[in-house]
Amino acid sequence: MKSHHSHISRRIYFDILWVVLAPLACLGCLILGSHQLQAGVVTTGNVEPPDPLSWTSGTYAYVGHTADGTMTVDGGSQVFALVGYLGHDPGVTGQVVVCDLSSKWATVSHLYVGYSGSGTLRVEAGAEVSSQWGYLGFNLGSAGAATVTGPGSKWTMSQLWVGYLGGGTLRVEDGAQVSSAGDGCLGLRSNGTATVTGPGSNWTMASDLYVGYSGNGTLRIDEGAEVTTRWSGYLGYDSGSIGMARVIGHASKWSVSRDLCVGYEGSGTLSIEDGGQLSTSAVYLGRYSGANGTATLSGAGSNVTVTGNLSVGDRGRGTLLIKDGAVVTSRDGYLGNWSGANGTATVTGPGSKWNVARDLYVGYDGSGTLVVSDGGELTASSFSISNKSLLAIDVGYGSLLSIGAENGTITNDGTVRLLAGAAATAGSQYQPIAAGTWRGTGAYQAVGGSWDPVTHVFTVSAVQPGASGTPVSLELSQIQRTLIEEPLSGWSVGASFLNKAGQINFTATAMTGQVLSDLEALLPAGDVVLGAWHFTASGSGYSPGDPVYLSFEVGPGLARSDLHLWHYDGSQWSSYTATDLSYAGQYASFTVTGFSGYAVSAVPEPGTLALLACGAAAMLLV
């Protein structure tokens, strides 16, 4: 363990030293005069053979073989080798910089940046490096880092492995180009990271890109850069692997000519943010059994175009979240495609859309859950829900499922759940599903209101007020909503119930004392509790498993991603995930199917922080 930390410390030291000295080395070559430009190659330390200008396409070249070494190539010089090693032996560091226009280093076969030691390669100012195979971090314990920077700077090769058995890092920036005639791989059996950043920066591979093959891989594309994959992309390829990709910012783009598998047999995470773009022929989230794939699309201008199928939970488990104005377009859509698969998709927030040109199946042979909330919109030519699947859609914010331009067919053999939270206006009427033909034998659950199966209109229930700790009695065939207040803390919570015959006796009690203190000890930095309640219910109108839509009043100025949900089982708190969590400027709403303790926390607006702190202090004293 001690030697491992020593190796990391040496690597950090040399990386920092190289970042500072490499640009100065190139500048120094220019300052020294014409005789230096003619030589164009400067070495220090252990370089074998010692004169790189004498190397040929048959040379085994070492920069840092048995001791540390460096090489700078500039002034239009060209260096050749059969194989290149940067940092050959364990504990040895080898560093190469190739700088200025027309300077080049070419290896006919392999280029190892970090063979068993640590290697650093920097290509800048229009220089070029070429190799047949490129490795960043080849053997166990090795580390390799490459930076290609500036317009005209290039690294071309047949195959590129970033993190083979050791750790690898690739950075392509400021208009530089990296191209692979074959595959690209981040984290073959170790950890590999690539960042492609800045307008004009590009990494292109003629075959597949593996982000996490058998190890862990991370890809980041930002500030207008682009990655082009001519065949398929895989995030989390083998079982146990982890692959993550982020495309961030306007004009940043990942183009995949064939399939993109987020979680092929391992775990994959894809994020398209703040105007990023993805184009591909098909997307599979959770491709095979045991795989787990998650995709999050967020922000106005963020766009995903899928010319074929978008399968959320193909044979494994998949999760799709479209929020904050992002748009997804696909030919067909599947949530839970094959038997045993599970797929969940959420479209939430104004401007957020999923446009399906043909058919959308919520559960095909597997099970699926679709949530449309907070003004999100989904369109499809036809729409089907299997008997193991659920559609949940809220009312009051413009959420809409439109099928066949409002003339298509909805086939419901599962469950359609229509939800009215605390913010919905009593007596208002909505048509959140627009279709021409309604088929199937599935259920339509009205929560917080009533549903007319003929006109397909949802009418919001009146609200029965109540106080913390005091039972509220509701005849659910008449009123399905209540709002409970706690004056001391300023908290309030709404509860919306299933429209059915029978009476429910419902009690919501604001949490105080040690239980509240235990929750505060778990909060992320800066978070405060915006509401913590314990719920109980009895009566003929309630059955365990019935959906109840809770609405915690949390105030304005937050985003859905700011909210953290918690569950109290009677003895301890734990993080809670709700697939239908929605937030529309005042209330955080989500469905539960059993009563116990629940809470919401977030970083509040500065203007409300003092009031919340006073309320929380009072509750703790109680």
Task: Give the span between the Cα atoms of 354 and 330, in whole angstroms.
Answer: 8
Residue 232: the pLDDT is 98
Query: Residue 12 pLDDT > 50, yes or no?
Result: no
330-344: per-residue pLDDT in tens? Answer: 999 999 999 999 999
Query: What integer pLDDT is reported at residue 282 of this predicted model?
Result: 98
Residues 6+ apart with CB under 8 A from 406: 434, 435, 436
Is the pLDDT assigned to residue 223 strictly greater than 50? Answer: yes
- Dihedral of CA 540/444/344/335: which sign? positive
Q: What is the pLDDT of residue 10?
A: 33
Question: Which strands, in side-by-side order, build the sheet including 548-553?
Answer: 463-467, 481-486, 491-496, 548-553, 587-592, 582-583
Confidence of residue 575 (pLDDT cuts 50, 70, 90): very high
Which one, of 232, 135, 142, 145, lies nearest residue 188 by Cα?
A: 135
Q: What DSSP character marks residue 461?
A: P
- Provide the whole-model pTM: 0.90
pLDDT by residue (tens digit) across 235-264? 999 999 999 999 999 999 999 999 999 999
Residues 6+ apart with CB under 8 A from 273: 246, 247, 248, 249, 296, 298, 299, 302
pLDDT digit string, tens, across residues 378-416 = 999 999 999 999 999 999 999 999 999 999 999 999 999
In this predicted structure, the answer to whether residue 441 has a pLDDT above a threshold of 80 is: yes
The answer to whether 258 and 232 have CB atoms below 8 angstroms apart is: yes
Half-sphere exposure of 152 (CA within 13 A, CB side): 10
End-to-end alpha carbon distance in the chain: 50
Mean pLDDT of 425-454: 97
Numbers of helices and strands, H then E, in the chain: 4, 62
Exposed, middle or buried: residue 360 (CB in 10 Å: 0-12, 13-18, 19+)?
A: buried
Q: CB of 559 within 8 A of CB of 324?
A: yes
SS3 309: strand
State the Cα–Cα distance between residues 359 and 342, nearest whole angstrom: 18
Q: Give the pLDDT band of residue 585 (cuts 50, 70, 90).
A: confident
The mean per-residue pLDDT over the stretch 181-185 comes to: 96
Q: How many CB atoms lie within 10 A of CB 569?
A: 9
Per cent of the chain over pLDDT 90 is: 89
Average pLDDT over residues 301-308: 98
The pLDDT of residue 606 is 58
Q: What is the model's pLDDT at position 423? A: 93
Please state the rounded mean pLDDT for residues 181-205: 97
Q: How far is CA 28 from CA 74, 76, 197, 367, in A?
A: 11, 15, 28, 65
> Average pLDDT for residues 58-80, to the nearest whole number?
97
pLDDT at res. 39: 52
Q: Is the dihedral of CA 549, 392, 456, 438 positive or negative?
A: negative
pLDDT, averaged across the chain: 92
Q: pLDDT digits over 18-48, tens only?
A: 333 344 333 333 333 322 334 589 999 999 9
What's the confidence (pLDDT) of residue 622? 46
